[in-house]
């Protein structure tokens, strides 16, 4: 028996693997506005998705350096250098960045998220 899916969360088609694997990180715009944007990382043959704004003070994680230590892939926030595990979103500082499931289907990348995601900005985002 499986738990019922949260109906507000959906899989969003982002684009073809062949394109998205050309860059280490893409910013995915959220229909919920800037604070819900997501980073889609492509590192060592795998995709990872996490909130684009750092849980510390909102730094742009897409611009962070990525390093591997003891088999753990981490992104370092460009603002204060906090580390976040790409898979779990955990930081050695105790902060937790939200991460999202990614799946590949028929050559395309999908990300599971509570709001619509797009490589292009939404024309009407909620002002915060």
Scanning 1-128, the segments in alpha helix (DSSP H) are 17-20
Tell me how far, at minimum, the Cβ of 47 lies from ligand FES, in Å.
22
Taking contact as CB under 6 A, which single stretch among the options 25-33, 52-60, 67-75, 111-119 is the one that binds ligand FES?
52-60
Instruction: Kindly state whether residue 54 participates in binding ligand FES, applying the rule CB under 6 A.
Output: yes
The angle subtended at Cα 11 by Cα 49 and Cα 95, nearest 5°, is: 30
- By the rule CB under 6 A, 56 interacts with ligand FES: yes
Residue 59 contacts ligand FES per CB under 6 A: yes
Taking CA atoms, 41 is separated from 32, 58, 87, 100, in Å, by: 20, 18, 10, 11
Q: 52 to each of 3, 26, 29, 33, 105, how far by Cα in Å?
A: 28, 10, 9, 12, 24
- Among positions 28-47, residues that touch ligand FES (CB under 6 A) are none
Of the pair 79, 122, the CB lying nearest ligand FES is at 79
Asked if 62 is part of the footprint of ligand FES (rule: CB under 6 A), the reply reads no
Interface with ligand FES (CB under 6 A): 54, 56-59, 77, 79-80, 82
């Amino acid at each position: 028996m499986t738990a019922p899916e949260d109906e507000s969360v959906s899989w969003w088609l982002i684009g073809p693997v062949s394109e998205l694997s050309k860059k280490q990180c893409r910013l995915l715009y959220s229909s919920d506005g800037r604070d819900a944007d997501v980073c889609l990382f492509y590192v060592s043959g795998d995709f990872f998705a996490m909130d684009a704004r750092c849980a510390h003070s909102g730094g742009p994680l897409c611009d962070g350096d990525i390093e591997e230590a003891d088999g753990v892939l981490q992104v370092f926030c460009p603002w204060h250098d906090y580390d976040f595990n790409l898979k779990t979103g955990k930081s050695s500082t105790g902060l937790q960045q939200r991460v999202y499931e990614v799946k590949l289907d028929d050559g395309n990348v999908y990300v599971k998220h509570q709001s619509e995601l797009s490589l292009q900005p939404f024309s009407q985002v909620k002002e915060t």
